[in-house]
Amino acid sequence: MVRLGAGLAAATLVWTGVTSSAQAAISDDDLRPLVIGGQPAEEGQYPWLVGIGSSGEGTPWERQSCGGSVITKTVVLTAAHCVEDAVDDPEGLVIFSGSVDLESDELVETAVTDLHLAHDYGEPVGSANDWALLLLDEPVDIDPIEVDVDPAEFETLEAVGWGQTGEGYPTVARWVELPFVDDEACSDAYPGAFDGQTMLCAGDLQNGGVDTCDGDSGGPLLAPDDKGRQILVGIVSWGDGCAEPGSPGVYAEVADFNGSMDDAIDGWADGE
């Protein structure tokens, strides 16, 4: 299941993670618990975390549909499936930054002026290369997160977002620690759907109970470096259900497309 948010779920087709052609509309019955075992984020814990939503009327909580990460003062990284329908109208998107609480008075809304969708999104399998960049109308007063450049195996990862909790969508982002799942085990869990070159997995294979879910799409998967800093290694992409044993969450692997991402950012800087 592609992990869309409240604002997009009702009208969007989603991939079930079984085959590239298995699609169905999200209904209320599809919304499974998020971050079981997780907890609300504290202010300042994820300063580069943003919500992505539609411009127009309504509160940020009502308009937010996906997550993203500030990777430069004017660029946000998110999932391609979150914004692919906005390619012809990127100015219909905004980001919400400055707080983990979508009802906070400190929240800042910034317009999006352009969008770069991964050119090989959906190749070689349905949700491969699930990444996109948003160019902001003006710089945000946020220190960008450092992005992973080398593929690696990890022990424990961390994810954060405003996704479904089983009791609705929270206004305060929640975070959860996730065991790393190696490519072989993830391929066994999702035969024919998992691509180890462009994806990585995290979750408790045996017990389930910890995962990202609907509404967390585009948000970060994090790993600590040798200095204890949070490094962006993945983007919330898809999974079969949420927090189910044997069905880990699947994430776009940032190290795979880091060069293409830099090229796109350089193109914007050069006015292309």
Give catalytic residues, as residue numbers. 81, 130, 217
C-alpha distances (whole Å) from 101 to each of 6, 58, 163 are 16, 16, 13
Please tell me whether residue 109 adopts helix, strand or coil conformation.
strand
Burial code (b: 16+ CB inside 10 Å, e: under 16) for 27-44 equals: eeebbbbbbbebeebeee
Q: How many CB atoms lie within 10 A of CB 11?
A: 10
Give dist(CA 208, CA 116) in Å, integer: 34
Cβ atoms of 105 and 68 within 8 Å: the answer is no
Cβ atoms of 110 and 138 within 8 Å: the answer is yes
Give dist(CA 73, CA 97) in Å, integer: 12
Give dist(CA 228, CA 205) in Å, integer: 26
